[in-house]
């Protein structure tokens, strides 16, 4: 997966996202006024993100491999991701 694809997905599909400052590429997912999880975007580098880094980002997003593919490739919408997070909150995992 390309760096830009993942970054774009993280920027557009993290509910209630607030970047702390313009230089900060890390993102928070926020629901109902509470920060639930944080995603680390590595420093800009060209081309594909490597597998271990992608896996770490996926784990921070609390997605399985298939969900993460959908998240990056637009099949999982912001609303659906928000629903996923609410399910995890209801299950006491977030």
Residues in the site for another protein, rule: CB under 8 A? 20, 24, 26, 31, 33-38, 40, 42-43, 50-53, 55-56, 58-60, 65-66, 68-69, 89, 92, 94
Which of 67, 68, 48, 66 has its CA nearest to residue 57?
Answer: 68
Which residues are within 8 A (CB) of 6 and not within 5 positions of it... i.e. 6 or more apart? 41, 49, 54, 57, 72
Minimum distance between the CB of residue 9 and another protein, rounded to whole angstroms?
A: 16
Minimum distance between the CB of residue 38 and another protein, rounded to whole angstroms?
A: 7
- Calpha distance 60→25 (Å, rounded): 14
Q: Which is nearer to another protein, 13 or 63 (CB)?
A: 63
């Amino acid at each position: 997966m390309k760096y830009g694809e993942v970054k774009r997905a993280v920027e557009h599909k993290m509910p209630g996202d607030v970047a702390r400052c313009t230089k900060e590429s890390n993102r928070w997912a926020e629901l109902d006024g509470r920060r639930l999880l944080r995603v680390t975007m590595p420093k800009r580098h060209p081309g594909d993100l490597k597998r271990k880094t992608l896996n770490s980002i996926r784990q921070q997003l609390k997605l399985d491999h298939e969900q993460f593919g959908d998240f990056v490739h637009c099949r999982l919408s912001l609303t659906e991701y928000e629903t996923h997070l609410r399910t995890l909150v209801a299950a006491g995992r977030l």
